[in-house]
């Protein structure tokens, strides 16, 4: 596990449900102007924070790679909000939330730095040694809340993470090219494939397509890219067996 330079305990957490299994990593961006603003928000339990909703995460990673520990992994941090993944709701119960310092789309979305990504890799590898986390359960906030969230966004390098052994990056072939054509010929088939992969069946199809593009297409388009469609085929054909 990488050196955690600063432990900054957040009061915003509670116990996980009995028998809860920690089996998911959820990656966010802070979406705030600075590290200081993000840490304040994630540790704020003032009456004003209670009124707008207290939030937290297990870890925050600054642009220089410094890791801040806010909530113990075995406690339930409040980072996911209303969420769904693969037939489960309220993903706070079973997940570890990691916030990457980035101003986000509202304040000037920028590339994630290499020190930040390298620290994330080391942190995730350590988490995966401690908990039974399958590759399909390494997710972005947009994956578990496609109608509400877009983070960590189209600039986040999921392929780099997968090369380090964290999460998935499909290796498609001709069969996936053929199968993906069905997604463009039938909205029902496309929607079924997205739900099978893990998305909330209550979400609209455009939001699911955007979430999938954010993860696998490096795009925020609400129309599935051709390349992303072949990757969806591969995921449903191989990764979910």
Instruction: Supply the angle between the helices 226-234 and 187-197 in degrees, to the nearest 10.
Output: 50
Q: Check if the beta carbon of residue 60 is closer than 8 Å to that of residue 28.
A: no
Active-site residues, by number, are 99
Residues 74 and 96: their CA atoms lie apart, in Å, by 9
- Count other Cβ atoms within 10 Å, centred on residue 101: 25
Residues 100 and 112: their CA atoms lie apart, in Å, by 8
Please report, to the nearest 10 degrees, the dihedral formed by the alpha carbons of residues 56, 49, 150, 162 taken in order: -10
Strands 59-61 and 95-100, bridge-based pairing: parallel
- Count other Cβ atoms within 10 Å, centred on residue 63: 17
């Amino acid at each position: 596990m990488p050196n955690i330079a600063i432990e900054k305990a957040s009061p915003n957490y509670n116990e996980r449900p009995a028998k809860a299994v920690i089996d998911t990593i959820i990656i966010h961006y802070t979406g705030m102007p600075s590290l200081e603003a993000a840490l304040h928000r994630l540790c704020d339990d003032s009456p004003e924070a209670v009124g707008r909703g207290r939030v937290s995460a297990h870890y925050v990673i600054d642009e220089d790679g410094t890791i801040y520990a806010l909530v113990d992994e075995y406690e339930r941090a409040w980072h996911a909000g209303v969420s769904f993944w693969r037939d489960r709701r309220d993903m706070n119960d079973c997940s570890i939330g990691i916030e990457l310092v980035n101003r986000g789309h509202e304040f000037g979305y920028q590339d994630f730095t290499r020190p930040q990504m390298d620290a994330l890799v080391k942190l995730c590898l350590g988490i995966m040694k401690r908990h039974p986390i399958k590759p399909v359960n390494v997710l972005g906030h947009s994956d578990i809340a496609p109608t509400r969230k877009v983070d960590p966004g189209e600039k986040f390098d999921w392929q780099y993470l997968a090369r380090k052994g964290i999460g998935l990056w499909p290796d498609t072939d001709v069969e996936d090219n053929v199968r993906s054509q069905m997604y463009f010929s039938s909205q029902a088939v496309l929607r079924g494939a997205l739900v099978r992969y893990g998305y909330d069946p209550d979400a609209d199809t455009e939001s699911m397509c955007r979430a999938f593009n954010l993860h696998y297409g490096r795009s925020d388009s609400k129309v599935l890219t051709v390349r992303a469609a072949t990757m969806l085929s591969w995921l449903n054909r191989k990764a979910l067996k």
